[in-house]
Amino acid sequence: MRIGYEAKRAFLNTTGLGNYSRGVISMMASYYPDNQYFLYTPKIVADKRIDLIKAYPQVTTITPQVKLFTSLWRSRFVVNDLKRDDIQLYHGLSHELPVGIHRSGIKSVITIHDLIFMRYPQYFGYISRKIYKAKIKYACKHADRIIAISERTKEDLVELLNLDPDKIEVIYQDCDKSFKIKQSAQKKAEVSAKYKLPEKFILHVGTIEERKNLWLLVKAFRLLPGDAQLVVIGRPTDYVKKIEQYINEHELAGRILFIQNADFTDLPAIYQLAEIFIYPSRYEGFGIPILEALVSGTPVIAATGSCLEEAGGPDSLYVNPDDEVELSEKIQSLLGNPLHQQTMIAKGLQYTRKFEDKKLSEQLMNVYQNVLNHA
């Protein structure tokens, strides 16, 4: 097959949608090397992770010949390049398909990650919401098949956009392979010294924004014993001011370490050094940091209300996203029970096998083949 991918975020996003895009491309090139894969991106940047993908001989990167109006090329004129390259199937990896692809004879698949902008519109600007909705509605209408990254996202597509559930396939995602590699004692020591990490700590990873709900964790942290330490890794937004005010009012500054620009290559060691990982987000499409923690061998506590149970499995712990007392009690029950931690670690690692690349690539290839066979 000759398969095209919308690859802007594979090249330009270092987290989230970028990780998903790179993961899909690399696993398909690895497990199905007889196909030809074409990556369509408005520009190319240097990055070790994307260089690994470009190293596959069956992967070709395509950029626009005219460097002006690249957004218009990506949203419309790329169809001409797809036809020129004899693409049989085009996969929009992040919510979008180019206008007119349904008239080109090229089959298409679209991945929808979430509809958070519809569930929590207060977190998005009016114009952004309109643009997101228009793009997703167009893509879902004209795609031959829709991939949702969780059952929760599929339910949202059916409920909020009135889509036919039979058109939607749930295919989960895997996390970066680096999190599955046991870090050496030397690497852990180097990372610990680099970021001045406490000897023992609770970990949270994620953008510091209202939806991610760090507020709950900080309030719960005030109820924990005074020797408990928290490490927060993530890009701050204006929401961090509310968090900092609470921390100062309750004299928690000495117990909470904020790290804004942690190197991606250091994250596996940080996860593996943590005693517990906590992810109290109110809403996610999947919750990839939970999977990163589980494969790192770190027990997880997450919030109920969206899809985090799908990422964390039946043996992680879950709390109401508005109940700091419940969260503090769950944390203390784990900190004081190493046996329970080890049980959660073992069962969490077993659960993550359902997200292995080989299984996911088989599911994705089945979608591709079914779409093409019903041409």
In this structure, what CATH number is given to the domain that contains residue 141? 3.40.50.2000
pLDDT at 47: 74
Q: What is the spatial distance between Cα 320 and Cα 265, in angstroms, rounded to a whole number?
A: 32
Same domain, 363 and 346: no
pTM reported for the whole predicted model:
0.92
Q: Which residues contact 84 (CB under 8 A, 6 or more apart)?
A: none
Q: How many domains does the chain have?
A: 2
pLDDT at 48: 75
Q: What is the spatial distance between Cα 64 and Cα 79, in angstroms, rounded to a whole number?
A: 11
What single string gives the DSSP state of each residue in 162-178?
A: ---GGGEEE---PPPGG
pLDDT at 52: 76
Please check the confidence at residue 375 and state whether its pLDDT lies above 70: no
Tens digit of pLDDT for each residue in 252-311? 999 999 999 899 999 999 999 999 999 999 999 999 999 999 999 999 999 998 899 999
Of 167, 171, 165, 116, nearest to 146 (Cα)?
Answer: 167
Give the Cβ contact number of residue 134 at 10 Å: 10
Three-state DSSP class for residue 234: coil
pLDDT at 69: 82
Q: Please, what is the average pLDDT of the chain? A: 94
Same domain, 170 and 228: no
Q: What is the spatial distance between Cα 115 and Cα 23, in angstroms, rounded to a whole number?
A: 21
pLDDT at 89: 98
Same domain, 343 and 220: yes
Tens digit of pLDDT for each residue in 300-324? 999 998 899 999 999 999 999 999 9
Same domain, 147 and 105: yes
Show the domain range for 272.
Answer: 177-355
Same domain, 43 and 137: yes
Same domain, 245 and 341: yes
What single string gives the DSSP state of each residue in 77-127?
A: IHHHHHHHTT-SEEEESSS---TTGGGTT-EEEEEE---HHHHSGGGS-HH
Contact 111, 97 (CB under 8 A): no
